[in-house]
Amino acid sequence: MPRGQSQSQSQGRGQSQDPRPARWQCAGARWGHGGPELVWRHSAQGERLSPLTPDRPLSFTTGPRRACVGVRRGVRHTPCPAGAEVPASAVSAQCPDCARLDRSYSVAADTRTDDPRPYDVYLAWFGPELVKVGITAAEREGARLLEQTALSYCLLGRGPLMAARRAEAVLGAALGVPDRFPYAAKRTARETPPPPERRAADLAALHQRARGLGGLPESLALASFEPVHHDAAFHLDRVRPAPGLIRLVPRPPWPVVSTPWRARTSI
């Protein structure tokens, strides 16, 4: 489901209109301590989570517009003050104003440099020839890799934010690995993944090359090679080629369209 899609309530003429969504709005998936969860937000009732377990029936109702999801800073979420509409085809779930605000203090955009938390530098394996380098806050304990649907990963080192950022740039250029892949490529790679031993061998070769590189920050504590595999978490033994993709888009207010489907896996 596109993030930020919601069902809006109509308002009577002459009434003041709250620009924010008046009903529960799906804000995407998150990986919590108990596994994957769908995040739901309401302008008056806050946020709630619903477990996304294998074989759980799901259905989403589309409304007349796709609304901006606002800005999230740590554990605090701020709804879009304008209740702006986001085009159905847009990749971002934020309106331009919220996106600018998000980037103004963001680790990903290199505009948040005062984060005192330690960061891990990792190599993530998504498929053959699909290995990326990235960073994640150490306190998340690998949840970021689960959310990205990495089938396997290993840590390269841990250090301050700017040291981790520098290492990410050096490793990406020296090893020839990018920092992201298209969703379609990752979905296809999950259908017939090689065994963990093959994934571990690919990661081990890159990990060894990375440790031998010069130019890494001295404040980055290098980690020994310890691969982590997500076969059990993702139920990879149950993954089958998808018959197709359902793209949910805003619909006219009435009739409401509900699209049911059954989750076969937890990714």
Instruction: Answer whether residue 173 is part of any domain.
Output: yes
- Model pLDDT for residues 67-115, shown as the tens digit of each residue: 888 888 766 788 888 889 998 888 888 999 999 988 887 776 666 777 8
Measured between alpha carbons, how far is 267 from 190 in angstroms, rounded to an integer? 10
199 pLDDT higher than 80 = yes
Instruction: Answer whether residue 247 is part of any domain.
Output: no
- Measuring CA to CA, how many Å separate 78 from each of 71, 73, 91, 108, 184? 5, 8, 20, 19, 30
Return the higher-pLDDT residue of 129 and 153: 153
The answer to whether the CB of 206 falls within 8 A of the CB of 131 is yes
Q: Is the dihedral of CA 188, 108, 74, 7 positive or negative?
A: negative
Lowest mean pLDDT among 1-10, 37-46, 48-57, 85-94: 1-10
155 pLDDT higher than 60 = yes
Structurally, the chain folds into a number of domains equal to 2
Across 25-34, 131-140, 185-194, the highest mean pLDDT is recorded for 131-140
Strands (E), 128-254: 130-137, 152-159, 221-222, 228-229
Measured between alpha carbons, how far is 150 from 189 in angstroms, rounded to an integer? 10
Instruction: Answer whether residue 111 is part of any domain.
Output: no
**Given pLDDT bands bounded at 50, 70 and 90, which one contains residue 223?**
very high
What's the pTM value of the predicted model, to 2 decimals? 0.75
Compute the average pLDDT of residues 118-143.
92
- Model pLDDT for residues 226-243, shown as the tens digit of each residue: 999 999 998 888 877 776
Question: Is the domain of 133 the same as that of 27?
Answer: no
The reported pLDDT for the residue numbered 60 is: 77
End position of a domain, from candidates 104, 136, 171: 104
The answer to whether the CB of 40 falls within 8 A of the CB of 26 is yes
Range of the domain at 227: 119-238
Instruction: Answer whether residue 252 is part of any domain.
Output: no
Return the higher-pLDDT residue of 131 and 93: 131
**Phi, psi (deg, nearest 5) at residue 31:** -105, 110
| Burial of 28 per CB tally in 10 Å (0-12, 13-18, 19+) | middle
The reported pLDDT for the residue numbered 189 is: 82
Count of H helices and E strands in the chain? Answer: 6, 14
DSSP element (H, E) containing 51: strand 46-51
End position of a domain, from candidates 79, 104, 129: 104
The reported pLDDT for the residue numbered 10 is: 34
Compute the average pLDDT of residues 106-130.
85
Beta pairing partners, 229: 152
Instruction: Answer whether residue 195 is part of any domain.
Output: yes
The answer to whether the CB of 222 falls within 8 A of the CB of 177 is no
**Given pLDDT bands bounded at 50, 70 and 90, which one contains residue 253?**
low
Question: Is the domain of 127 the same as that of 100?
Answer: no
